[in-house]
Each structure stands twice: as C-alpha cells, then as structure tokens.
Amino acid sequence: MKKVINPEKGVSLLYKFLDWIIRMIGYALILILTSMIFDDTLYIDSEYFGLWSLIAAIIIYLLNKTIKPLLVWLTIPITGLTLGLFYPFINLIILKIVNIILGPHFHIYGIWFAVFASILISALNVLMDTLVFQKLNGKGKKK
C-alpha cells in the first residue's frame, strides 16, 4: 500500500503556526508599548514584564478565537446601529476578561484607555490580516 503525503496539510499547519506567532508578538508589543506610554492606566507586573505581557497576549488570542465570535454575533444589532463603532468595545470586553483572569499581574485602570488599547488591537488585527496573512496565504497576489 502506498502512502500519499499531502503537502497542503503541512503548509496549512505552518500558516496557522505563523499566524499564531505573529499575533502573539504583535499583541505583546502593543501591551508593552501602551503600558510604557500610559504607565498610570495599564499595569503589567514588572517582575517578569515580558512574560506577563506574553501570557496576556496568549489569553487575548484564545479569547479572540473562542469568545469573540459569540460576542460579535450577540452584538450585531448594536454594532449595526452604531455603524460599526461598537466593534472596539468587544475588544474592550476581552481586555477586561484578561484583567480578571490575570488578577494582580495585569490591570487596566479606566475605561477610556481600555477603549484606546482595544482600538490599537483592532487596527493591528486589520493590518496583519491585510498586509501579512493575505500574502502568506497567496490571496494578495496581483494578476
């Protein structure tokens, strides 16, 4: 019996792994930069600064893949009424969940900074989807 190796499966796994790594680094950098710029509003435990931001990035990624689609579906009416302006508040909800999960190692003070950070995360997602992942997936090729 001959075994058939599917090269597309390996490419798909590599694509998913690259997607995961690039998003983790992007989320962690956004959290680090915003905590450095706005040190009174975002607190990340300074004992292992990079580790806690990476853990927060992993939790954000997992919540984006699991809970965010449900939140988007539940908030379709209000997002439609506000012409999409409510969408960053979904990321705000995810950041607040991360705040609850990590407890004293990650804390967001004030709602307006969290809205700003969620807008940055939304912008990062859009930029990564259009600039990086479409080219990796082959959809960004010009004919």
Alpha carbon 91 to its chain's center? 8
pLDDT recorded at residue 33: 83
90 contacts 72 by C-beta, under 8 angstroms = yes
List pLDDT tens digits, range 6-26: 555 656 778 788 878 888 888
Residue of 16, 53, 4, 6 whose CA lies nearest to 31: 53
**Domain-wise residue ranges, the chain:** 18-128
Confidence band, pLDDT 50/70/90 cuts, at residue 142: low
pTM of the model: 0.76
120 contacts 34 by C-beta, under 8 angstroms = yes
Give the chain's length.
143
Residue 25 one-letter amino acid:
I
